[in-house]
Chains A and B, each alone.
Chain A
């Protein structure tokens, strides 16, 4: 579904990402994991052309590269990011309808799609008439997801989508989105620095450091002893926390 071939990004001759070569299969849920400045967001943005690669090719959906205008490509890809970026001068429903309108849908079809999406992200329909400023952080991000899904994209790019939310909301939204991913048959690439989130949501985790891929595999593989030292260090904390919590749970049940 997404293919990176020798993709690199340089600023002023200094390479910050790559060369990267990997493929994301249709229906996969891939987490790009790493610390800040490791190049994961740059990598994600090269998929929908918000950042242009300095070298190599990114192909989405198997089609030949760059035969369409960049904005036409973006319309086929959902994009969700931490700041959400809801348009403050129009209502929630109008925000969600932006994608369908850009795709040239009729008013009636777009309106039906708005209701459908509000249901899908578990928001009451009356929220549609509100201004974005009248929503809570979690509601706003749900609208962000609904808006990205507006024109029925097959690919979703998510850049720390739940990073600014409180832990409970974050967990609920993560699980809700994972369910949507499965139900709609989406292909998702999600950038996160939260190891637990990556482990709990993704089918495959690509660990990046200093612009390069240091590990790439299923969550279970990365947790095994065979993983490289950097990855093991990364995984140690959530693993220890999980075991500690398991002990607490066990202790209290005996206590």
Chain B
């Protein structure tokens, strides 16, 4: 079997169980809220229009954005709860995913519930009233049984939507089948992407079929169908969830975070391996958003991760100046400690700076060496950027420092950004200086004589809660100053290249081996 496929299978029990857990909880909660709401809505127009309007409105929010919006909301709630009750809760992972998916699941159940109850034969309702049933008796004995097939059809739609949307829970830190898709997309591991898509599609289809069996059983009043469907769902859910019970308790485990690109996966695995070697149990939270990661660390939801000095300087501290590499690092160390209690353990030894890069042949033809040269011709050139660059302060800084005005700017997922440059769809891109593709694709990095871009030293950050944790510090301290940019580029490229790809975990082991051979101890 293909090595990547084997690796994907190995991850399946964990990803699938988490995916089923979050989908199931969201659906049960969504059903528990929507059905009473549908009953209330079918009784009163004053409930009906607002609730259907809000549910429809939620549906128009892209599900990825809906998931992301719950993180800051929950973080604020957690801070409040910390202030009032003395303990907060995790604003990352399960809860934001649960709330967003629950909201997302509500519309079909609500809409079908209202339609189903409204569609009950008026003669049956009149007979029920005329016979002296109370409102509740009429609801439970007549209206709900008669509306059940329509309500089940809504639940079916909700289940398919929720299982699909749950793949988007990965960026807020909830493990799901989306982990295959996000990390696969990032490292161009198409086997992972396909595997994740197929797994979530099969899960959705199987659930749909079993719920469909229950629906037709209700419609045709054939209890055996209902039982087969229900037992099938229960057995399927139990099987999928069983790894959660078997898994060793993760209480007390170190949580290492990673943002959503290859270098972050590799460094997270590198740190996790060192901790494990020191006898600790470790979990990793991959694919965190750039801003989410720091807030999660400050809130103690992850214990350590790698960030970049310039990013922290501009985005977290909101600074627009550039006092130089050493001053930025020193400023960060004191300021983050003072403000959030976050420990900057030190720089790993390389920079992953935002740089502007061009294809070598193109740069030569246009006589461009520095960003200043670019600005003179920018009006006829197209910039390709990653998804966040154009909204970051760094872009504003070089834009104003050099007066850059491109003919067109387009955002890409990083993998496709490099492709766009290669194929000529973009003339310049916002690259990362430690990216292996810079040397592999023979790109020219444009110099920044005005120092508009801050330095981007990769630094290990430790959460306030673990600031004095000697095991954590002891395991990570030896990495400080040891990883050069060439070693990092090589590790990154081993994951990002098309042929003979390594997984991030393998690349981390290779990197550790390379470090050891360089500095024997």
Name A residues whose Cβ lies closer than 8 Å to a Cβ of B. Answer: 48, 50, 69, 71-76, 79, 81, 83-89, 98-99, 102, 131, 147-148
Contacts and interface: CB of A to CB of B under 8 A. Distances in A.
Interface stretch (B104-112, B120-128, B349-357, B379-387): B120-128
Given A87-B142, A89-B146, A102 B123 contact: no
B88 interface: no
Contacts of A85: 121, 123-128, 130
B134 to A, nearest CB: 5
B126 A50 contact: yes
Interface in B122-175: 122-134, 137, 141-142, 145-146
B221 A89 contact: yes
Contacts of B123: 81, 83-85
A102 B127 contact: no
Contact of B145 (A69, A89, A99): A89
Contacts of B122: 83
A69 B122 CA distance: 22
20 contacts: A50-B129, A74-B131, A79-B127, A81-B123, A81-B126, A83-B123, A84-B123, A85-B124, A85-B125, A85-B127, A86-B127, A87-B127, A87-B128, A87-B142, A87-B146, A88-B124, A89-B221, A98-B131, A99-B131, A102-B137
Contact of B130 (A48, A69, A87): A48
Interface of B: 121-134, 137, 141-142, 145-146, 221
Contacts of A87: 124, 127-128, 141-142, 146
Considering the complex of A and B, which 6 residue pairs feature the smallest CB-CB distances, nearest first?
A85-B127, A74-B132, A85-B123, A75-B132, A79-B130, A83-B123
Given A71-B134, A83-B123, 15 more contacts: A50-B130, A73-B132, A75-B132, A79-B131, A84-B123, A85-B123, A85-B130, A86-B127, A87-B127, A87-B142, A89-B221, A102-B131, A102-B132, A131-B221, A147-B127
For the complex, would chain B's binding face be called helix, strand, loop or mixed by DSSP majority? helix
Contacts of B124: 85-88
**B121, B125, B129, B137, most chain A CB atoms within 10 A:** B129
A133 to B, nearest CB: 10
B134 A74 contact: no
A104 to B, nearest CB: 12
Nearest to B127: A85
Given A87-B124, A88-B121, A71 B133 contact: yes
A81 B129 CA distance: 12
Contacts of B146: 87-89
Contacts of B127: 79, 81, 84-87, 147
A81 B131 contact: no
A121 B122 CA distance: 25
A75 B130 CA distance: 8
A191 to B, nearest CB: 13
Contacts of A131: 221
A148 B128 CA distance: 11
Nearest to A84: B123
A48 B126 CA distance: 12
A233 B124 CA distance: 37
B117 to A, nearest CB: 14
Contacts of A74: 129-132
**A76, A81, A131, most chain B CB atoms within 10 A:** A81
B119 to A, nearest CB: 12
A147 B127 CA distance: 10
A158 to B, nearest CB: 11
A10 to B, nearest CB: 22
A84 B121 CA distance: 11
A65 B130 CA distance: 18
A61 to B, nearest CB: 14
A87 B134 CA distance: 16
Given A84-B127, A89-B146, A72 B132 contact: yes
